[in-house]
Amino acid sequence: MDRLVSVLDRWQARGRIAHFWLRDDDAVAPTPALSRLLDLSSRHRVPVTLAVIPAEAGSSLAGFLAGRPAVDVALHGWSHQNHASPGEKKQELGRHRAHGAMLEELSEGAVKLKALFGDQFLPMLVPPWNRIDTGLLPHLGEAGIETLSVFGPEKPAPVRMVNTHADIMDWHGTRGCRAAGDIVTDVIARLAAMEARGGVMGLLTHHLVHDEAAWIFLDAFFAATARHPACRWATLADLTGGQGDPAQAPASSRS
């Protein structure tokens, strides 16, 4: 983590704050892994946005999350079901179905999550597998969606984008945690882009499939960043509350 701390030290010297946010995908019910994630984030005072699959979510998860002000809920598609053809990359919100059918599902999901989670639910869509038909984007407002979050640098879109930029999981290899140095390299690259263009740094996790190395990395990463004067871990509400680009806030605004 020394390389990351050195970069943040330079941000501090210039009187700037780097805003980070944490998105964790595939929540459906209380589990030991979810408890571990929330305990870890609470201990380090790192807010978390849970991308919840509405078709499977119910009152047990709502009760488990109630009273946790540092936990926001986003819409993770409808059922996390793959509709792509064999040989194609998995997609629930791709070009394989009519826009009307997908928008109806998303609207139903948003209504359900709002009923379950109240003010913890914010109208952000996290497409399963981070993929969505771009032709659907201009119509997301019809389903009550105000913000979209996928993986990678934000691109011009007809909807507000708040993406993730560093994934801790090695999906194409061990399917465990990536090497810590590789994750830190991704974070530093994102910070360099933020210096030039603003924005935030989104960390992506999947609590249900974390191995022990993933938990160890998160503990060390949170410890290195959450207490650094040049880093602020933001809630989803911070990022979507109409306050402009939080990455432009001066260091003196840190609470």
pLDDT of 253 above 50:
no
What is the rounded average pLDDT for all residues in the chain? Answer: 92
3-state class (DSSP) for residue 12 = helix
Give one word for 169, left, alpha or beta, with left for phi > 0 and alpha for psi -120 to 50: beta
Are the C-beta atoms of 37 and 81 separated by less than 8 Å?
no
What is the pLDDT at residue 128? Answer: 96
pLDDT of 248 above 50:
no
Domain residue extents for the chain: 2-242
Mean pLDDT of 137-156: 96
pLDDT tens digit sequence for 207-243: 999 999 999 999 999 999 999 999 999 999 999 873 3
User: Quick count: other Cβ atoms within 10 Å of Cβ 202?
Assistant: 26
pLDDT of 108 above 90:
yes
Hey, what are 167's tokens? 């994934």
Mean pLDDT of 75-82: 90
Q: Which residues contact 189 (CB under 8 A, 6 or more apart)?
A: none
What is the pLDDT at residue 115? Answer: 97
Which of 150, 58, 158 has its CA nearest to residue 113?
58
pLDDT tens digit sequence for 27-44: 999 999 999 999 999 999
CA atoms within 13 A on the CB side of 81: 11
* Kind plus residue range of the DSSP H or E element containing 226: helix 212-226
pLDDT of 139 above 90:
yes
Q: Which CATH number fits domain 2-242: 3.40.50.1860, 3.40.190.170, 3.20.20.370, 3.20.20.70?
A: 3.20.20.370
Find the range with the poorest average confidence among 139-143, 209-213, 244-248.
244-248
DSSP of 37-67: HHHHHHHTT--EEEEE-TTT--HHHHHHHTT
pLDDT category of residue 85 using cuts at 50, 70 and 90: confident
